[in-house]
Structure 1
Amino acid sequence: MIILKTEEEVELIRISATLISSTLAEVAKVLKPGITTMALDKLAAEYIADHGAIPSFLNYEGYPHHICTSVNEVVVHGMPDDKPLREGDVVSVDIGVIKNEFHGDHAYTFIVGEADQEVIDLVRITKECLYEGINHAVAGSYLTNISSAIQRHAESNGYGVVREFVGHGLGRAMHEHPQVPNYGRRNEGILMKENLVLAIEPMVNLGTKDIKMSKDGWTVKTADGKPSVHFEHDVCTKPGHAMILSNYTLIEIAEKANKNLNSSYY
Structure 2
Amino acid sequence: MAVRVPSMELHRPPPSVSGVRGKSCLQKPFLVQAKRLEGLEKANPRSRGKQSLEQVKKRAPLIRGTVSPPLPVPGHITQPPYVGKKDAPEIASEIQMHDKVSIVHMKAACELAARVLEYAGTLVKPSVTTDEIDKAVHKMIIDAGAYPSPLGYGGFPKSVCTSVNECICHGIPDSRELQDGDIINIDVTVYLNGYHGDTSKTFLCGEVDEASKRLVKVTEECMLRAISACKHGTSLKKIGRRISEHAERHGFGVVDRFVGHGVGRIFHSEPMIYHQRNNMPGQMVEGQTFTIEPALSMGSIDCDMWDDGWTAVTTDGSLAAQFEHTILITKTGAEILTKC
Equivalent residues in 2 for 1:2-81, closer than 5 Å: 2-81=95-174
Q: Which of these residues, 187, 195, 202, is aligned with residue 287 of structure 2? A: 195
Q: Could you tell me which amino acid in structure 1 is paired with residue 258 of structure 2? A: F
Q: Could you tell me which amino acid in structure 2 is paired with residue 115 of structure 1? A: V
Unaligned runs of 5+ in 2: 1-93
Determine whether 1:229 maps to 2:330. Answer: no
Q: C-alpha separation between the residues in 1 aligned to 2:323 and 2:264?
A: 19
Unaligned runs of 5+ in 1: 249-266
Equivalent residues in 2 for 1:72-151, closer than 5 Å: 72-151=165-244
- The structure in which a higher percent of residues are strand is 1
Root-mean-square deviation (Å): 1.1
Q: C-alpha separation between the residues in 1 aligned to 2:103 and 2:257?
A: 28
Q: C-alpha separation between the residues in 1 aligned to 2:205 and 2:124?
A: 7
Q: Could you tell me which amino acid in structure 2 is paired with residue 211 of structure 1? A: C
Aligned to 1:173: 266
Shift of 1:100: 1.1
Aligned to 1:214: 306
Q: C-alpha separation between the residues in 1 aligned to 2:150 and 2:278?
A: 31
Aligned to 1:244: 336
What percent of counterpart residues are identical? 36
- The structure in which a higher percent of residues are helix is 1
- 8 Å Cα contact 2:297-2:320 kept in structure 1: yes
Deviations 1:41-83 (A, max 9, x none): 0000000000010010001000000000000000000000111
Shift of 1:134: 0.3
Structure 1 ranges of 4+ moved more than 6 A:
none
Shift of 1:227: 0.6
Q: C-alpha separation between the residues in 1 aligned to 2:230 and 2:103?
A: 15
Q: Could you tell me the TM-score, scaled by structure 1's length?
A: 0.90
Q: C-alpha separation between the residues in 1 aligned to 2:131 and 2:336?
A: 29
Shift of 1:7: 2.3
Deviations 1:148-196 (A, max 9, x none): 111111122111111111000011111011000101247x611211011
Q: C-alpha separation between the residues in 2 aligned to 1:147 and 1:34?
A: 37
Q: C-alpha separation between the residues in 1 aligned to 2:300 and 2:248?
A: 11
